[in-house]
Each structure stands twice: as structure tokens, then as C-alpha cells.
Homo-oligomer: A and B are copies of this chain.
Amino acid sequence: MRINWRVNKMNLPVILGLLGKLLVIYAGAMCIPLTLAVVLGEWSVYSFLLSIIIIGIPGFFLMRRFKLTEMKFGVREAFAAVTGAWLLASFTGALPYWFADVVPTYIDALFETVSGLTTTGASVISDVEALPQSILLWRSLTHWVGGLGIIVLFIVLLPKTGMGSVLLFNAEVPGPTNDRVMPRIRDTAAALWKIYLIFTAICAVLLWMAGMSFLDALNHAFATIATGGFSTKNTSIMYYNSLTIEMIVAFFMIFSGANFVIYLTVWRKKTMKAFRNTELMVYLLIIIAATLLIAGSLWSNAGNSPGYAFRHALFQVASIMTTTGYASVDFDQWPSMTKIILFLLMFIGGSAGSTSGGMKVSRIILLVKATWAELKRGIHPRVVSSIKLDDKVIDTENLSRVGIFFFLYIVTFTGASIIVAASTGLSPFEAMSAVAATLGNVGPGFGTVGPTTTFAGISLLGKIVLTVCMLLGRLEFFTLLIIFRPEFWGKGKVW
């Protein structure tokens, strides 16, 4: 029997082959918590076994049926593959939670998985300390796998990489970077994973030495380097009440919120010049400025010692700016002004090419530069000035894309806030913070969804909307939204 696999000229076999491979890799990843469950004799061993069977068998057959001998595909296939991979990873990654019965509904399991993969770290599980260690490890692993991106992993494992992998890379890696299209993209992807792995290991060892248990250190390292924010403790990092742990975590959060391409360049070219990067400088300046503002407010308003004020201001700014979402203190009790600053940081986010969420610092820089140039044009209408970032001219096409991204971000934020407020009992600011925290892949918001509480009490509709927000934020809108264009389905003009 011969089936026509080309729907509206889309190359379906290559997408199905890719998704099959993804399922097999995913089943393989689940063997890690499975092993832990076996070693510790946890009952969750069955939920992992069942999930691996359900995911692995169809994955194996898809992979065999649609061999990826060569990736011949275009833009549509790239978008379809990335969207499909994220949705599939989300729906299947939810199975262990659901089978282990640690969440009330499948939607909750899905929320937790998407929150993990998108490195959001918002949780619907109120008592995480009651979870089996294997489930906690799976939870942190979703952060780690999602952090650098499922597709980047993909590329490393592909047999032949042509234009297809470049397209995949473009659709996946966040931020408006010009360094995206690289000649040897497979090597780059592999090198990124190496850096990622090494720093996760260093972070884990340091946290272990600082007093965490081995498993806690591993979990927190996964969640920190991925700027995820899932903790194995109900009260997050404040459980430890340790300055050492806070400073280790703060360092690695700030590290992970910077562009990984910088580290790659430093590593490859053995030069420190790559650190002379505008986005990195602005990113660090914002952290310093926000820390000083908040520390000042905490010191003067709440009668805290300057040391205490600075310590928690720095940790919380690093945590929110890098969109990790850990809490060293219940910042929901802080003064109004500090909350608005943290709220703002949720929108800015970290750097392009990092594991963080939000709009990304480089986009804000470009928008500020474009604004300044526009004011100049108001006086000299005929003067055309080009906008540069690190000596690279940014063309108008990329600039308008940044502006549109900004608009989409704000519109999505507003629309989702209305639905969340309508479908839950949240106050306007709580609802807006819940949306900002999920859209920016931060995790905790304020009030009912604050640092010491969870998203468990949110309505079903609210959870679904916030789940979509997490995916939209992680895939930066275009990848997900492009499937709504008629051209995507081959109904527009053929190209």
C-alpha cells in the first residue's frame, strides 16, 4: 500500500521520522529516573516503565519507517517539526506524573511538564517534598532537556545535516542573534551541550559541597543552569537559609542568563574579547541597578540590615531577571515598588542565546536604539541612520521583527490576563503576574501564585491558558503562531 505522505506539498515523512527519533531519545531519558526508582525501590518505577513502553514503541516504529537519510526540507517543515516536537514532548512527558498519581488531572501533569520543558518552573504540586525522588529527578530533567532546547539535542543526533538543521536551529534558539546561521551547526550544537554539561556538573558539585544532599544538588544544578526554578523543597532555596548556597545559585543563574555563544567563542578562540559584548554589559548593568534599587527600598522601608537587604535583593533580582524563579525569601511581602521592578524584570528576561525567557535584553537594546534614532529623524527627516549592535548593522527587517515581537508579547500578556482573571479568583495584579511569570518562563508571580504558593488552585481554563503562554514564550511566538497562516497549510501561493 502506498500512501501519499505529502499533505499540501508538506514533506510529512521527514517530520514523522524526526518525531519518531525524538520519542526514542525521550524514552531513553526516562531510563535515568527509572534507574533511580529501581535503586531506591520507589513505587514510581511502574509509572516510568509504562511511560517508556508507550513512548518508545511507536517512536521505534516511526524511526524505522521514515529513515532520515537526508534532511530535505524547507521552512514549513522546520516550523512543523519544532512545534510538533515541543507538543509531543509535552504530552508524553506528562505521563510519568499522571501514572504515578501525583497530580489530580492529566491537565495538571501537562502543566507541570510544559513548565519543566519551557524552564518556567511554575508548579501545581503543593507538597513536592512528598514526591518520590525519581519523579523529582524527572521534573528537573525536563528543565535541563528543555533548557538548551530539544532541537539542539536533535541536531547533534541527526545523521546528515544540511540546510534543514540550520532552519531547525533558527526556529528553536531564542533571541534575535545574528550568529544563528553558522556553517558547522552540528559542531556548534555539540559544543553548546558540552559547555552546558560541564557547568551543570560544576554547579552540582559546589551545591553538594555547600551542604545539599547529592540528589538535591543534582536537581538544583539541572534547574539552575536551565534557569528553570523547580526545587525539591516546598520553600525553594529559602529552605536552606544559607548564604553560600544562595551565592552559588545566584552566580550560576546569572551565568546561564548570558549568551552561551559568548562562552563558546571564549572556549574555542581562547580569548576574553568575546566578553566585550553590549548585551552582556547591559544585562549585568540592569542586574546591578535593580539590585541597588531594591536593596535600598528594603533597607529604608522594612527596617532590615543593609547586608540582609543586599543579599536578598541580589538573589531575587538574579532569580527573576534570568527567569529562574527561585526564592530566597517571600518577596511577595516586599514593598510595592520592589514588586513592580521584579514584575518589569519578568518582561525583560535574560540574554539571547541563553536558557532564560522573557523578551531578552538585546531586543530591549535594539528598541531603545531605534527610538533614539527616531527622535533624531524627527529633527532631520531626510537623514537615514543605521542601527548597530556590536559593530553589526541591524537591517530594518530584523528591527521590525523585534518591534512586532514586542507587540505580540504585550498583546498576549493582556489577552491571557483577561482570561485568567475571568476564570480564576485572582486579583488583577495577581492574574497579570501569573501571565507575566509563565509567558516569561519565570515561574512564581505574586499573591496567590507567589513564591510560597503554587498554581494548584488555578482553574482548569486558567491552567490551559498559562500552559499555552509558557509555550508561546519559549518558542517566541513566531514558531507557534505561524501555523495559523493559511500559507503554512499550502493554501496560499506556492513558493
Q: Are A418 and B337 in contact (CB under 8 A)?
A: yes
Docked pose: A307 CA to B371 CA in angstroms: 47
Number of identical protomers: 2
Question: What are 22 A-B contacts with C-beta separation under 8 Å?
Answer: A335-B421, A335-B422, A336-B421, A336-B425, A336-B426, A339-B428, A340-B417, A340-B432, A347-B414, A370-B400, A370-B403, A375-B478, A378-B485, A380-B487, A380-B492, A380-B493, A380-B495, A396-B396, A399-B400, A400-B400, A403-B407, A406-B406
Q: Are B375 and A482 in contact (CB under 8 A)?
A: yes
Q: Is A427 an interface residue (CB 8 A)?
A: yes
Q: Is A43 an interface residue (CB 8 A)?
A: no
Min CB gap A413→B, angstroms: 10
Cβ contacts under 8 Å, A421 to chain B = 335-337, 339-340
The contact string, 1 if C-beta is below 8 Å from chain B, for chain A 78-102, is 0100000000000000000000000
- Choose among B347, B410, B422, B487 the residue that contacts A297 (Cβ–Cβ < 8 A): B422
Q: Is A129 an interface residue (CB 8 A)?
A: no
The contact string, 1 if C-beta is below 8 Å from chain B, for chain A 20-33, is 00000000000000
Docked pose: A484 CA to B488 CA in angstroms: 45
CB nearest neighbor in B for A415: B344
Chain A interface residue count, CB cutoff 8 Å, equals 58
Docked pose: A493 CA to B75 CA in angstroms: 45
Q: Is A53 an interface residue (CB 8 A)?
A: no
Docked pose: A347 CA to B341 CA in angstroms: 20
Query: A348-398: which residues lie under 8 A (CB-CB) from chain B?
Result: 367, 370-371, 374-376, 378-383, 396
Q: Is A154 an interface residue (CB 8 A)?
A: no
Cβ contacts under 8 Å, A432 to chain B = 340, 429
Q: Is A209 an interface residue (CB 8 A)?
A: no
Cβ contacts under 8 Å, A75 to chain B = 378-379, 381
Q: Is A431 an interface residue (CB 8 A)?
A: yes
Q: Are A418 and B488 in contact (CB under 8 A)?
A: no
Docked pose: A408 CA to B368 CA in angstroms: 9
Q: Is A311 an interface residue (CB 8 A)?
A: no
Min CB gap A395→B, angstroms: 11
Cβ contacts under 8 Å, A493 to chain B = 380, 383
Q: Are B428 and A371 in contact (CB under 8 A)?
A: no
Cβ contacts under 8 Å, A337 to chain B = 418, 421-422
Min CB gap A88→B, angstroms: 21
Interface centre among A376, A378, A418 (most CB of B within 10 A): A378
CB nearest neighbor in B for A485: B375
Docked pose: A485 CA to B372 CA in angstroms: 8
Q: Is A76 an interface residue (CB 8 A)?
A: yes
Q: Is A446 an interface residue (CB 8 A)?
A: yes
Docked pose: A75 CA to B403 CA in angstroms: 27
Cβ contacts under 8 Å, A381 to chain B = 75
Cβ contacts under 8 Å, A371 to chain B = 404, 407-408
Q: Is A65 an interface residue (CB 8 A)?
A: no
CB nearest neighbor in B for A446: B428
Docked pose: A21 CA to B41 CA in angstroms: 89
CB nearest neighbor in B for A433: B428
Docked pose: A406 CA to B405 CA in angstroms: 12
CB nearest neighbor in B for A429: B429
